[in-house]
Structure 1
Amino acid sequence: MTERSNEQPRLAGVIGWPIGHSLSPLIHRIWATREGANAYYAPVAAPPTEGDFRRVVDGLRAAGFRGVNVTIPHKEHALRYADDASAAAAEVGAANMLTFKDGKALAENSDITGFTAALSGVLSGVDAGDSLHRTALVLGAGGAARGVLAALKRCGVSKITIANRTKEKALAIADAAGADTIDWAAREGALGGADIIVNTTSLGMDGVGPLDLDLAAAPDHAVVCDIVYKPLA
């Protein structure tokens, strides 16, 4: 038996609520096996409150975890938990990864770069003056929405409207993004003026319930993005 096999595995995971839908543990275990890494990546359930998130993360750090990916609904909690943050996490106001090192927690955010890359790949030259994709309707106002808003601004989108089930949350992030807000009930009526439509809510995810949105009123040129991790069949 080799010395490596006797070592404790490096621990990491993904934290959220719910967490059973996540494929991250499977993906990371495949990578670890392929690379011969002595590592274990766990799904970690943390109830929705910030207090529960802090309690669970404290426990993970005490158990020797090196870090965690962060998903719904804890991305804003993760940024506030951290001792320091990357420029992207600070810009977005949320984090999708915490790294633990030397007794400190570092917050990072790859949502903004990931969504920017995805959106740039399907738009026809927004930065070169594409007038067809200048307005966006964003559904949701959580941590994922923050990353999407920053990415939309990077892609040159000039008018953004946010619709959220809790309007207070939409108002809380609208100013920083230079966005407008509308009531959740008015979301379908706003489709006609949206060149880009992004669902950042958990609605439409398996086990959560449908988004209940008829896209027939959207323009023919509209780009529709759904960031739901595991959509309804």
Structure 2
Amino acid sequence: MTPYAEVIGDPIAQSKSPLIHGFWLEQLGIEADYRRAHVKPDELAGYFESRRGDPAWRGCNITLPHKEAALEFVEDRGGIRQSIGAINTVIRAEDGALIGTNTDAGGFYTPIAGLDLDGKHAVVIGAGGAARAILFALSKIGIGRVTILNRNVLKGAALLSSFGIKGDALALNAKLPPAALLVNASALGMVGQPPLEVDLSPLPEDAVVYDAVYSPLETGLLAQARARELDTVDGLGMLVGQAALAFELFFGAEPPRDRDEELRELLLA
């Protein structure tokens, strides 16, 4: 019986997680699989029930649109509901329980760990599961103020309040403030989704633009930022970072991060 983990979402064909985990499994010589599973919102309960009875299943990563809804079907032993409010990883505990956790926050932070954001202003676009993890991370590194841009302004304001972050929530088309960091935590700009239309001219020349979207890797937002010669972080940084944390939970081994350049070439091929 070959152990396996997988990534679930709707849609799911765009996910690069099987490439990442498959690369690490091969490099480490671990006999295991990592798969995609297309799970629609009304199939979540049935999905977790079926995996609960499968001893080969080590767990799953969770992508759009299930990061908040999946909390209803797993145990929350780490208090993720209160701290972040969304999960992106589920693992099977030694006692057989399915435990939800979140590796997105750590994955988001890794590529910008060298930035001094203490007391600075950040803009976050979106208010879904990814935005929750990003706001959690920003709150832990002492961000001074956050402006959330979202279609539902009230949802954005509620998120700021829940994380105890000073700032404001504005409409998606509002003018950007002169922030030190801009993060796209929405699906806008992703393959099959509407483009993200934003004017970056208010950002200072030392601002960093970070797009969590990785399909395509060169989004319109990043292209616009590079045209202004702003520093950028693409979606692979967060994707690989969160995957590395999940991989160790699934397979009990640290991934070979010294092969990151080789992995990046594989993902871009």
For Structure 1 versus Structure 2, the TM-score category normalised by the shorter chain is 0.7 to 0.9
Give the partner amino acid of 1:172: A
2:77 counterpart residue number: 85
Of 152, 155, 168, the residue aligned with 2:138 is: 152
Which of residues 48, 52, 57 is equivalent to 1:61? 52
> How many Å apart are 1:60 and its aligned residue?
2.8
Confirm whether residue 185 of structure 1 aligns to residue 173 of structure 2.
Answer: yes
Which one has the bigger strand percentage? 1
What residue number does 2:212 align with? 227
What per-residue deviation string (whole Å, max 9, x for no partner) do you get for residues 39-61 of structure 1? 121111122x3x43222222233
Q: Which residue of 1 aligns with 2:101?
A: 108
* Alignment check: 8 A CA contact 1:116 1:154 kept: no
With structure 2 as the length reference, what TM-score do the two structures score? 0.72
Q: CA deviation at 1:35?
A: 2.6
Query: 1: distance between equivalents of 2:37 and 2:158?
Result: 28
Match of 1:119 in 2: 112
Query: Counterpart of 1:54 in structure 2: which amino acid?
Result: A
The question of 1:137 aligning with 2:123 is answered yes
Any idea what the Cα deviations from partners look like across 1:171-199, whole Å, max 9, x if unmatched? 3322112342112232xx1x233221110
Compare 139-148 and 77-86 and name the one that shifted more.
Answer: 77-86
The match for 1:73 among 65, 70, 82 is: 65
Segments of structure 2 that go 5 or more residues without pairing to the other structure are 219-269
- Work out the CA distance in 2 between the residues paired with 1:91 and 1:195: 25
User: What are the ranges of 5 or more consecutive residues in structure 1 without an aligned counterpart?
Assistant: 1-7
| TM-score using structure 1 length | 0.82
CA distance in 2, matches of 1:24, 1:166: 30
Q: 1:77 to 1:85 in 2, by over 3 A?
A: farther
Shift of 1:230: 1.5
CA distance in structure 1 between the aligned counterparts of 2:46 and 2:156, rounded to whole angstroms: 27
Considering Cα pairs closer than 8 Å and 6+ residues apart, tell me whether 1 or 2 has the greater RCO. Answer: 2
> Do 1:203 and 1:209's aligned partners in 2 also have CA atoms closer than 8 Å?
yes
Q: CA deviation at 1:76?
A: 1.3
Indicate whether 1:32 and 2:25 are aligned: yes
Q: Deviation of residue 31 (structure 1)?
A: 2.3
Classify 1:151/1:30 alpha carbon distance in 2 versus 1 (closer, same or farther; 3 Å): same
Are residues 1:11 and 2:12 paired?
A: no
Q: 1:126 to 1:195 in 2, by over 3 A?
A: closer
Aligned partners of 1:43, 1:223: CA distance in 2, in Å? Answer: 32
Answer yes or no: is the 8 Å Cα contact 1:138–1:198 preserved in 2. Answer: yes
- CA distance in 2 between counterparts of 1:36 and 1:114 reads 24
- Residue type at the aligned position of 1:185: N
Contact 2:86–2:102 (8 Å) recurs in 1 = yes
Q: Do the aligned partners of residues 95 and 34 (structure 1) sit closer, same or farther apart at CA in structure 2, a change above 3 Å counting? A: same
Please report how far the alpha carbon of residue 62 of structure 1 lies from its aligned counterpart in structure 2 after TM superposition: 3.1
Query: What is the CA deviation profile of residues 62-112 of structure 1, one whole-angstrom value per residue up to 9, with x for unaligned ones?
Result: 344220011122111233322123256642111111012333111111222
Structure 1 runs, 4 residues or longer, greater than 4 Å off: 87-90
Shift of residue 32, structure 1, vs aligned partner: 2.2
The size of the alignment, in residue pairs, is 214
Partner SS, residue 113 of structure 2: helix
Map of 1:5 onto structure 2: none
Task: State, as a whole percentage, how many aligned pairs show the same letter.
Answer: 38
CA radius of gyration, larger in: 1
Q: SS where residue 218 of structure 1 aligns?
A: coil
**Helix, strand or coil: the match of 1:84?**
coil
